[in-house]
Structure 1
Amino acid sequence: MKKDIQTLPDIELMVNTFYEKVQRDDLIGPIFNAKIQNRWPEHLEKMYRFWQTILLEEHTYSGSPFPPHKQLTVDQAHFDRWMELFTQTLTDLFEGAVAEEAKMRAANMAYMFMYKIEYFRNPENFNKK
């Protein structure tokens, strides 16, 4: 029987499982691997703190998650795949209110990141009246 996300080890399991899928994925893996290169342990630690802060309300992360993503050559298909892998990971490992909140938060972040990336690429499209 699956349980909900409750502890830092749960967050670590979620993050590690998800990013193992990301690294092997044909669509988004090359983007992540090129950007992160040999800094995966550092990235994973940052992701543990990020999700621990969001889901467990244990404030261990500080920073702005968007700026490192601003210049990535990604489009909606990349965010859709990211969400597919993230949702699949959560569904496979957990069930409960916090797991559902993680899916909702991830979907909101994916939408906002794509919106902001589009804005930085084409600001003239956002200034029309």
Structure 2
Amino acid sequence: MMTNIQHPAADTPREREPDEANIRALVEAFYGRVDEDPLLGPIFSRALTGRWDEHLAKMTTFWSSLVLGTKNYRGNVQEAHRPVDEIEPRHFARWLSLFLNTVETRYEPAAAVQFMEPALRIAQSLQLSKFGWDYQIPVEQQELLAALKRQRTGDNPEPRFPERPGAEPFPAKFVGKPADEK
């Protein structure tokens, strides 16, 4: 279990540009939320017991490599996730929802896209690898990826992001068995 979870104050300004320090803070905040989450927490706890610090350092290096171009990450994302058998589509939806929301609360939109687009692409790759090439990526996930791409490339000066139902931070259709079903 993780300790020392830090949530930003509501009036904390969002970062304009990613750097090593705020990426580390993002990773720690996100995995703090994962650890507290009733759906994801038990899975991560089983997989990372006694290795949280190592994982947080690796994820900081991973996101720094992707976003800052540091190229220090050495690893295989597909292989790292292969041993976790209990992952279902709803776990991906929850992971994305938590991650995108954490990024949105910590970064200005232009900086947030630098995390969100790769996160959605990686999730899609992992989903197809885990569930087979005929797996249908949820429409909400596809729409969000397309909106982020338009924002990044400037294809649409005022990007329209998919509507957010209820209190969902981003469209995230939960698919799979409900948590109370075995």
TM-score range, shorter chain: 0.7 to 0.9
2:107 equivalent in structure 1? 94
Say which SS state the counterpart of residue 58 (structure 1) adopts: coil
Greater length-normalized contact order (CA 8 Å, ≥ 6 residues apart): 1
Instruction: Give the C-alpha shift of residue 63 in structure 1.
Output: 1.4
Q: Normalized against structure 1, the TM-score is what?
A: 0.87
Q: 1:68 aligns with which of 80, 97, 122?
A: 80
Contact 1:3–1:94 (CA<8 Å) still a contact in 2? yes
2:90 equivalent in structure 1? 77
Say which SS state the counterpart of residue 77 (structure 2) adopts: coil
2:24 and 2:83 map into 1 onto residues whose CA distance is 27
Q: Which has the higher helix share?
A: 1
Unaligned regions of 5+ residues in structure 1, if any? none
Contact 1:71–1:117 (CA<8 Å) still a contact in 2? no
Unaligned regions of 5+ residues in structure 2, if any? 1-12, 136-182
1:68 and 1:57 map into 2 onto residues whose CA distance is 21
Contact 2:15–2:111 (CA<8 Å) still a contact in 1? no
Worse overlay, 68-77 or 107-116: 68-77
2:157 equivalent in structure 1? none
What is the number of equivalent residue pairs in this alignment?
Answer: 122
Is the counterpart of residue 110 in structure 1 residue 126 in structure 2? no
Q: CA RMSD in A?
A: 1.7
Worse overlay, 8-17 or 98-107: 98-107
Q: Normalized against structure 2, the TM-score is what?
A: 0.63
CA 1:5 to 1:34, structure 2 compared with 1: closer, same or farther past 3 Å?
A: farther
Is the radius of gyration larger for structure 1 or structure 2? 2
Contact 2:16–2:107 (CA<8 Å) still a contact in 1? yes
1:64 and 1:4 map into 2 onto residues whose CA distance is 30
1:6 equivalent in structure 2? 18
1:45 equivalent in structure 2? 57
1:32 equivalent in structure 2? 44
1:18 equivalent in structure 2? 30
The amino acid of 1:92's aligned partner reads T
Instruction: Give the C-alpha shift of residue 6 in structure 1.
Output: 2.4
Q: Deviations over 1:42-88 (max 9, x none)?
A: 00000010000000011111111111211321111000000000011
Question: Quick one: percent identity of the two aligned structures?
Answer: 30
